[in-house]
């Protein structure tokens, strides 16, 4: 028998309080919950409002800036810091980065880190919710994200992070940051329309471009690492999973596309193991380290480099 759906009030509550709303989710229910994920679906539909709002240079620039800022926060903080602890950062900076990443609508920091750690432990095996070998290309790309089996924050996988109250709060109420950013984009557009009408923007246009389109682009760029980076690309390492190195995915995710490298040695701060492998997240973290904002960036051991056909100077 298929699992029974959650009560309606809990599915609606999960829009606001994800820990309470997801507490009774069946981890083995992999059917899409259209009601629970309605805000995510509406986000995509609102993008079509661009047919009425049009575009302006300032709206496009805000879209690009918010895409880049939030993508960096996802890769540098959600992924390389919280999920893998590949460098050290003060709690205030980790929280600020997690807040920015959370505004991308990809759920909370504990949820993200927990699912990613499980992905590495069970990569392309039973229990890996976004394996294209198990769920198919569309399932691994986005449908897994919309199922009750993926809703619960698996706190057992992140006991180190669960002790941080600020991250726990952010994880529980993970819709507040995206909602605040959406409101901020609308307010910015309204202010520019009022005081700088020559820029040709308004509240609705800025909401559509600054928040909706940039958020959808950021989500699907991130999701390509789950789907395409396990399907399309080259392999420097004979890992037990299907991970691939893909230059295009690295381009749109600020360096996350060197996925086969990453699966071979996930503890490293770098994902591009060679100087020519585009990894701006690493470059920015090195700048932050030089400024004293972060520390303890973990290098790739020389034996790992040699195994993949890289040289030690490739990291320089």
pLDDT above 70 for 262: yes
Cα–Cα–Cα angle for 50, 54, 55, rounded to 5 degrees:
105
Q: What is the CA radius of gyration of the chain?
A: 20
Cα–Cα–Cα angle for 135, 26, 128, rounded to 5 degrees:
30
Buried b (16+ CB within 10 A) or exposed e, 213-232: bbbbbbbebbbbbbbbbbbe
Q: How far apart are alpha carbons 250 and 131 in whole angstroms?
A: 19
* pLDDT score of 312: 66
Residue 37: both structure tokens together: 């994920």
* pLDDT score of 15: 86
Neighbouring-strand partners of residue 245: 234, 258
Query: Could you say which DSSP state residue 149 is in?
Result: G
Give the global pTM. Answer: 0.95
**Tens digits of per-residue pLDDT, 136-158?**
999 999 999 999 999 999 999 99
* pLDDT score of 6: 72
* pLDDT score of 315: 56
Name the percent of the chain lying above pLDDT 70: 96
DSSP of 104-116: TTS--HHHHHHHH
Q: Which residues neighbour 150 within 8 Å (Cβ) at sequence distance 6 or greater?
A: 115, 129, 144
pLDDT grade for 1, boundaries at 50, 70 and 90: low
**Tens digits of per-residue pLDDT, 61-81?**
999 999 999 999 999 999 999
For residues 203-228, give the mean pLDDT. 98
pLDDT above 90 for 10: no
For residues 269-287, give the mean pLDDT. 97
* pLDDT score of 184: 98
Instruction: Name the phi and psi angles at 234, rounded to 5.
Output: -105, 165
pLDDT grade for 7, boundaries at 50, 70 and 90: confident
* pLDDT score of 261: 98
How big is the chain, counted in residues? 316
**Tens digits of per-residue pLDDT, 87-141?**
999 999 999 999 999 999 999 999 999 999 999 999 999 999 999 998 999 999 9
pLDDT grade for 314, boundaries at 50, 70 and 90: low
**What SS3 string covers 7-56?**
CHHHHHHCCCCHHHHHCCCCCCCCCCCCCCCHHHHHHHHHHHHHHHHCCC
* pLDDT score of 238: 97
């Amino acid at each position: 028998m298929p699992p029974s759906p959650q009560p309606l009030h809990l599915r609606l509550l999960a829009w606001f309080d994800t820990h309470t709303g997801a507490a009774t989710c069946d981890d083995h229910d992999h059917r899409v919950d259209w009601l629970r994920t309605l805000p995510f679906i509406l986000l995509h539909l609102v993008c079509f409002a661009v047919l009425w709002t049009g575009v302006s240079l300032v709206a496009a620039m805000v879209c690009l800036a918010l895409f880049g800022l939030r993508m960096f926060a996802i890769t540098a903080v959600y992924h390389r810091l919280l999920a893998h602890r590949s460098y050290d950062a003060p709690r205030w900076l980790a929280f600020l980065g997690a807040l920015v990443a959370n505004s991308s609508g990809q759920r909370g920091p504990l949820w993200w880190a927990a699912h990613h750690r499980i992905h590495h432990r069970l990569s392309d095996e039973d229990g890996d919710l976004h394996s294209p070998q198990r769920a198919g290309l569309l399932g691994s790309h986005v449908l897994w994200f919309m199922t009750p089996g993926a809703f619960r924050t698996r706190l057992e996988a992140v006991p180190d992070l669960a002790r941080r109250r600020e991250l726990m709060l952010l994880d529980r109420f993970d819709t507040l940051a995206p909602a605040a950013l959406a409101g901020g984009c609308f307010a910015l557009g309204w202010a520019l329309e009022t005081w700088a009408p020559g820029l040709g923007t308004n509240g609705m246009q800025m909401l559509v471009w600054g928040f909706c389109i940039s958020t959808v682009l950021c989500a699907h760029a991130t999701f390509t690492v789950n789907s395409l980076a396990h399907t399309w690309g080259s392999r420097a390492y004979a890992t037990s999973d299907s991970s691939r190195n893909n230059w295009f995915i690295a381009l749109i995710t600020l360096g996350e596309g060197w996925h086969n490298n990453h699966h071979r040695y996930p503890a490293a701060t770098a994902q591009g193991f060679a100087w020519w492998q585009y990894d701006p997240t690493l470059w920015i973290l090195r700048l932050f380290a030089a400024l004293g904002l972060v520390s303890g960036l973990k290098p790739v051991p020389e034996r790992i480099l040699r195994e993949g056909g890289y040289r030690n100077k490739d990291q320089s």
